[in-house]
Structure 1
């Protein structure tokens, strides 16, 4: 009894000490306390050299969300975003009966809406505001949907079918050249083709009671809703069932290879661009057929549906035109000035660009041996060497380390701004320690999770335009200082569509400077211009590594 109680007490004390230590570590990196200097912290700033690195064409298949439309940016030119998807069968179909009549073929893809701005009218109808739309509201474009003739493989035969097949942003010509026949969205309603626009209105759905004949109307949330060619789908889908074309998904995906969405200008309209979850889209074929009685009775006329989902392989196809507004970006070299750095960082999503950062000044005139004795150059920045080997022998305790990026307000004055940027280990294409250690979440919007690691845009309260992005790298800096074998790797900075996605996608033409970039950056259609850490940048806007620290007495 006594020994058991004793050990329980020891365990309780140990637990308290452990929890206190965790709480202390957490509070050490608490950013809200830093600004008021409640603990008499010291602050030191260090150099950050950075340059632009374009990705060129980049892998863009099977993204979680995809852009569709035309978007003109004052800094990055005009982007036309097309799309290709395979179709899949949720239920396999082996036979249909006789005397087929197709009532409708409807393609639907939901739009993102802003739940905070939803209004409900007195009659129960709703007024929606679309989210993730960039460009003039209700801008008209020409939308053409074709059967795709391009077969999208699951695996790469060059890699011995061991690797998934990759498709890239610059393959629009390949898919366009293999589109089949005429466009399928041939409705007389021009809002479904020649004058298409992303409509925020909800869709009425009228249902008729089969017994009473009473009609009732319900409404569905906004989304793309296109009536497709009924005769075409009767021939290509329904009349192909009995020949086994819909008996398995492998056979079906080779027979009907998918849909190709092509966007073009409509008259003088500038167009706009929407982010869409095509994998929630589908085609619903509603038809009637005659079923013979199994008991010799009369033939029965029945209504049925076939659903084709958009859950197969997909690819985002991007065409960039820099002749309007994008000349300065187009003129940038593929790789910026790696020696002196660039004045500005041009972060662009999609087929875009990354900023590559080197922390600490490159000057290397001295070094230290294992015993802390001063030696000659050692391939490590003198600034970092001095932090690792302080003259008084007392290592500083890093309470917080930040990179604060100032937005070029003049360049971004009339542009949509990315809501978040992402910093990662550029050399190894993986997140930083601080990313993994941040377990903060957001139940309303998962894209705003990891708020302590940050990277979320800070806006002016009046103008609502972006001012800065801040990213905390406290643990990364602690590791560099406390572990002398830690490598001061290059860091990559990109726009991101989703902070929770950390996978990397391959660039099409790899070289010594870049081989891949974050997948979530490929998903984002926007770009931003930031001031760099070069000495030519005004002091107040210059990027620096800020370290807040205390030293033991």
Structure 2
């Protein structure tokens, strides 16, 4: 009986103790940003001093050596509120397997003459099928920005510089190409019309190729379409005609030479295709150069030619239709973008410009000045003395509705950016909350009455570590248009790529912006007296 009573007391005591633990846990519970109040802790909030500045980007990594963008911009975007952008690229060209003029071996006095029917650069658009009627498919172009009624100029060149995956100074390291690097062309322009007028058109789904014999006699007209692997519906594509004479001398006449014996030999002979856009206005198009599921929809140089078979040198026996495709797509080829940006001088006002590619980012300083020069911001020191428990920290930036909002990014990204004064190297890293609270980190544009109004970032864990003195590392934060590679969270290092052209103007922390000023609000619990 005594043992039973003792056991009962032990169990009762354990239950009471466990209940007390749960009760204490509830004292500290926060649900989102709503704190359960009690008589021990009070919930308060504070607006932290911040400073938001423009941060123009001089250059950025723009190759596919470490990261395959897939998407490459081509065209011109000119908006008075942002930097003018002329986007171009250079790419290696894939050598087709078993490249030869004819599959048939002719003997005796039977020979053949190969003549080009047409040669062009094919650039398939990314598009959404809206309808497919008897009149043909109807598409809406995706990833096209800017003035769709104004053409830009396009020129194609052979690159003089070899596109090297390895660093020539240290072959054990990968190479890198920056967005402002200049590639020198060599030889004549490859396009048949210099300064080709490029205007995107969703209705360009086919071309007609006139087939001619070596004596220039028309013997057939082919309708050429390009389709996805799982569909028979033709997709829209841009076609830039190439100069047949130049192409014949440079490429076609050399099909079966040693320069075409391997991909490495060909890369050294034809070092890359420069696709260069220029002009005062126009549109900007994103093309997919890594369409693994539909290789036929990768950009390519298409050569259509005829083999005229002769007997005795004069008698035409028959004509054979041929086609060779030199792909520019796939992850094995080296390619890079280059961006020619406009004026980078921003007026000293309350606007913060965020523009993708090599445009601009925002730079954000938290907690104000360090007047005592001890390496810690004064406001941060004051908050530490209060010994608070951070419940929520929300950084909010509002869109300036007086600026152009036609290409507002759907999401921005926030990361740490610090220039090491000792080494001179830039240290860029992710904010802790992108790992610990990924679902609530934020950055997506928010709307009110169908108007895009602001961006918010929840950085509670990052701020909590600073206020608890777990870390004194409080570098500037950089704000950029989100790129798909930004969310590669394999490690804490941030790698700044950008091929999104979208742009937005934000308001800074100035009091004149009133309720729309940039602000960091910290909600916290503090033990009462």
Distance 2:338 2:223 in 1: 43
1:407 alignment counterpart? 399
Number of residue-to-residue matches in the alignment: 444
Distance 1:399 1:130, change over 3 A: farther
- Alignment of 1:282 onto 2:300: yes
2:407 alignment counterpart? 416
Match of 2:172 among 149, 157, 162: 162
2:57 alignment counterpart? 55
Match of 1:201 among 197, 203, 210: 203
Distance 1:229 1:501 in 2: 43
Secondary structure (helix, strand or coil) at the match of 2:266 reads: helix
2:89 alignment counterpart? 83
Secondary structure (helix, strand or coil) at the match of 2:464 reads: helix
Distance 1:226 1:408, change over 3 A: same
**How much does 1:403 deviate?**
0.8
- Alignment of 1:145 onto 2:156: yes
2:181 alignment counterpart? 171
Distance 1:151 1:384, change over 3 A: same
**How much does 1:255 deviate?**
0.8
TM-score normalized by structure 2?
Answer: 0.73
| 8 A Cα contact 1:411 1:529, kept in partner | yes
Distance 1:437 1:458, change over 3 A: same
In structure 2, runs of 5+ residues without a counterpart are: 1-21, 38-42, 106-111, 210-220, 226-231, 291-297, 311-315, 419-426
Distance 1:380 1:303, change over 3 A: same
| 8 A Cα contact 1:364 1:379, kept in partner | no
| 8 A Cα contact 2:192 2:244, kept in partner | no
2:251 alignment counterpart? 237
Residue pairs, 1:246-395, within 5 angstroms: 246-265=260-279, 270-279=281-290, 280-289=298-307, 302-311=320-329, 312-322=333-343, 330=345, 343-363=350-370, 378-390=374-386, 395=388
- Alignment of 1:426 onto 2:417: yes
- Alignment of 1:106 onto 2:120: yes
Distance 2:415 2:166 in 1: 29
Higher-Rg member (1/2): 2
Question: What's the C-alpha RMSD, in Å, of the aligned pairs?
Answer: 3.8
| 8 A Cα contact 1:388 1:484, kept in partner | no
Q: Whose strand proportion is higher, 1 or 2? A: 2
**How much does 1:167 deviate?**
2.6
TM-score normalized by structure 1?
Answer: 0.70
**How much does 1:301 deviate?**
5.9
**How much does 1:107 deviate?**
2.1
Distance 2:334 2:256 in 1: 26
2:71 alignment counterpart? 65
| 8 A Cα contact 1:364 1:380, kept in partner | no
| Deviation by residue 1:239-281 (Cα, 9 ceiling, x = unmatched) | 212212222111101111222222233xxx8312122223431
| Deviation by residue 1:130-176 (Cα, 9 ceiling, x = unmatched) | 22222222422222222333322222223x2233333333334x43x
In structure 1, runs of 5+ residues without a counterpart are: 1-19, 188-192, 208-212, 293-297, 323-328, 337-341, 366-376, 441-451, 504-515
Distance 1:29 1:454 in 2: 17
Distance 1:42 1:223, change over 3 A: farther
| Deviation by residue 1:74-128 (Cα, 9 ceiling, x = unmatched) | 2224222222222122535377575223333232222233x4xx42144373322
